[in-house]
Structure 1
Amino acid sequence: MSQSAAIANPALVNLAQDIFAALIEKHDYQRQLCAALETESDFAQRQAIFQRLKLELRAHEAAEERHLYVPVMQHDEGLDLSRHAITEHHEVDELLEIMEDDGASEEKWESTCVTLIEKVRHHLDEEENKFFKQARTILDDELQQRLGTLYQAEHDAFAKAHADD
């Protein structure tokens, strides 16, 4: 079985998850897709995995920025934290655009893929080890629960609406 077939998008999660549990679940899925991109040898399969990763990253970014970064930015101690994370999302988006370019050579696609995987892993680790710790002190428990539900609903709606892009 190819890597592409072996990784199934996680089913709808429990909508009662707080924002951090919901995000970590999606981060784990993104890490699985990155690992599959590294280990799959067939270029066509790698491109299919990339399409899944691209959709996941875009759905994740849209929902995360609205339902975590914006609420955290409303507090002075969260401004720089959120700005940095948004900058990293933008850097990932630029790499995705390069990989989507039909005129890009396979060599350019491959080298950009390596950079993308490194950037995604760095961002996820930094978020989980720094951003989340600070954000937990900024956002109260009730808001964390509500944001988790909002994040998951928006993520799933975005992914569904853009599945054929």
Structure 2
Amino acid sequence: MDAIQLLKADHKLVKRLLAELTETSERATKKRTLLLQEIQIDLSVHTTIEEELFYPAIKAAGKKQETKMYFEALEEHRAVEELVLPDLLSTDAGSDSFSGRAKVLRELIEHHADEEESKMFKDAKALMSKEQLRELGAQMAQRKQELLDKRT
């Protein structure tokens, strides 16, 4: 699996989990809590492999446009990891606030993933060979597994 395929699979999973989360009712507190825990782990692992491996590879292979995308993507990660997600994690899962905050998280993640897929991944395909993308994908898969193993 190449780097882009791996990241797209992650995007698909997190989007599905977020859709499921935002469709829950205030009475589904246990389900909300479990979904949010899974989302938090998946996002943490995903952003780590992007920031450690994928983004630097694109930045190194590219020019000014890729450097700009690199820093924008980092800021989007920071907004989710340091602001929106912690706020949601500290919100009562049975509250109306939870629903609104979950929706905002979903919208931010979907925007970020869609932007990566339409711009950054397109650039990656143009800047890197299929072999480079496969090698990067293997490194990312290995790092992803290491991170998941630490959590269990």
Q: Answer yes or no: same fold by TM over 0.5.
A: yes
Structure 1: which amino acid aligns with 2:99? E
Which of 39-48 and 118-127 deviates more? 39-48
Q: What is the deviation of 1:66?
A: 1.5
TM-score by length of 1: 0.81
Verify the 8 A CA contact 1:98 1:104 in the aligned structure 2: no
Within the candidate set 39, 54, 70, 1:82 is matched to 70
Q: In structure 2, how many angstroms separate the alpha carbons of the residues matched to 1:37 and 1:104?
A: 10
| Structure 1 residue ranges (4+ consecutive) displaced by more than 6 angstroms after TM superposition | 102-105
Within the candidate set 132, 136, 148, 1:147 is matched to 136
Structure 2: which amino acid aligns with 1:40? T
Q: In structure 1, how many angstroms separate the alpha carbons of the residues matched to 2:76 and 2:86?
A: 14
CA RMSD of aligned residues (A): 1.9
Verify the 8 A CA contact 1:59 1:159 in the aligned structure 2: yes
Unaligned runs of 5+ in 1: 1-16
Q: In structure 1, how many angstroms separate the alpha carbons of the residues matched to 2:37 and 2:59?
A: 31
- Residue matched to 2:18: 34
Q: In structure 2, how many angstroms separate the alpha carbons of the residues matched to 1:54 and 1:146?
A: 27
Task: Tell me whether 1:91 sits opposite 2:79 in the alignment.
Answer: yes
Structure 2: which amino acid aligns with 1:88? E
**Quick one: higher RCO (CA 8 Å, sep 6+), 1 or 2?**
2
TM-score by length of 2: 0.88
Unaligned runs of 5+ in 2: none
Percent identity over paired residues: 24
* Equivalent pairs, count: 147
Structure 1: which amino acid aligns with 2:31? Q
